[in-house]
Amino acid sequence: MDIIYYHPTFDTQFWIEHLQQALPEARVREWKHGDTEHADYALVWHPPVEMLSGRTTLKAVFALGAGVDSILSRLQQHPDMLPSGVPLYRLEDTGMALQMQEYAVSQVLHWFRRFDDYRAQKQQGKWLPLDEYTRDDFTIGILGAGVLGAKVAESLTQWGFPVRCWSRSRKHYPQVESFAGSQELDAFLSGTRVLINLLPNTPETVGIINIALLNKLADNAYVMNLARGVHLVENDLLAALDSGKIKAAMLDVFNREPLPQTSPLWSHPRIDITPHVAAVTRPLEAIDYISRTIASLDRGECPPGQVDLNRGY
Summary mean pLDDT of the chain:
96
- Render pLDDT for 148-165 as a digit per residue (tens, 0 to 9): 999 999 999 999 999 999
User: Is residue 81 domain-shared with residue 170, that is, in the same domain?
Assistant: no
Judge whether 90 counts as a catalytic residue: no
Please report, for the domain that includes residue 59, its CATH number: 3.40.50.720
d(CA 161, CA 176): 10
One domain for residues 7 and 101? no
- 311 is a domain residue: no
**Which distant-in-sequence residues (6+ apart) come within 8 Å of 187 by Cβ?**
179
Instruction: Assess if residue 309 is contained within a domain.
Output: no
Q: Are residues 261 and 113 in the same domain?
A: yes
- Region 277-281 average pLDDT: 95
Is the bond preceding 258 in cis, omega lying within 30 degrees of 0? yes
69 pLDDT band, cuts 50/70/90, is: confident
d(CA 53, CA 195) in angstroms, rounded, equals 40
Do 108 and 86 lie in one domain? The reply is: no
Domain count, the chain: 2
Percent of the chain topping pLDDT 90: 94
Examine the domain organization and report whether 292 and 234 are in the same domain: no
pLDDT at 106: 98
Q: Do 88 and 105 lie in a common domain?
A: no
For residue 84, what are the CA distances in angstroms to 42, 115, 309? Answer: 15, 52, 11
* Residue 103 sits in the same domain as residue 119: yes
Mean of pLDDT values over 91-101:
91
Domain limits for position 186: 96-273
Tell me, yes or no, whether 258 and 293 share the same domain. no
Q: Are residues 18 and 120 in the same domain?
A: no
Over residues 27-49, the pLDDT tens digits come to 999 999 999 999 999 999 999 99
Nearest to 71, CA basis, from 82, 56, 87: 82
Q: Could you give the CA distance from residue 177 to residue 188 in angstroms, rounded to a whole number?
A: 9
pLDDT of residue 312: 86
228 is catalytic: yes
Give the pLDDT confidence score for residue 77 in this predicted structure: 93
Among 135, 228, 282, 311, the active-site one is 228
Residue 66 confidence class, pLDDT cut points 50, 70, 90: confident
Decide if 181 is inside a domain.
yes
For residue 93, pLDDT over 90 is answered with no
Average pLDDT over residues 109-117: 98
pLDDT range class, residue 94, cuts 50, 70, 90 = confident
Say if residue 111 is in the same domain as residue 175. yes
pLDDT 10s digits, 203-235 = 999 999 999 999 999 999 999 999 999 999 999
Considering only residues 68 and 172, tell me which one the structure prediction assigns the higher pLDDT. Answer: 172
Q: What is residue 310's predicted lDDT score, i.e. its pLDDT?
A: 87
Instruction: Give 224-272 pLDDT, tens digit per residue.
Output: 999 999 999 999 999 999 999 999 999 999 999 999 999 999 999 999 9
DSSP character string of the chain? -EEEEE-SSS-HHHHHHHHHHH-TTSEEEE--TT-----SEEEESS--HHHHTT-TT-SEEEESSS--HHHHHHHHH-TTSS-TT--EE----SSHHHHHHHHHHHHHHHHHTTHHHHHHHHHTT-----PPP-GGG--EEEE--SHHHHHHHHHHHTTT--EEEEESS----TTEEEEESGGGHHHHHTT-SEEEE-----TTTTT-BSHHHHTTSPTTEEEEE-S-GGGB-HHHHHHHHHHTSEEEEEES--SSSSPPTT-TTTT-TTEEE--S-SS---HHHHHHHHHHHHHHHHTT---TTB--TTTT-
pLDDT digits (tens, 9 = 90+) for 166-177: 999 999 999 999
Q: Give the pLDDT score at 70.
A: 82
310 belongs to a structural domain:
no
From 27, 114, 276, 282, active-site residue: 276
- Is residue 307, in this structure, part of any structural domain at all? no
Query: Quick one: 164 and 268 in the same domain?
Result: yes
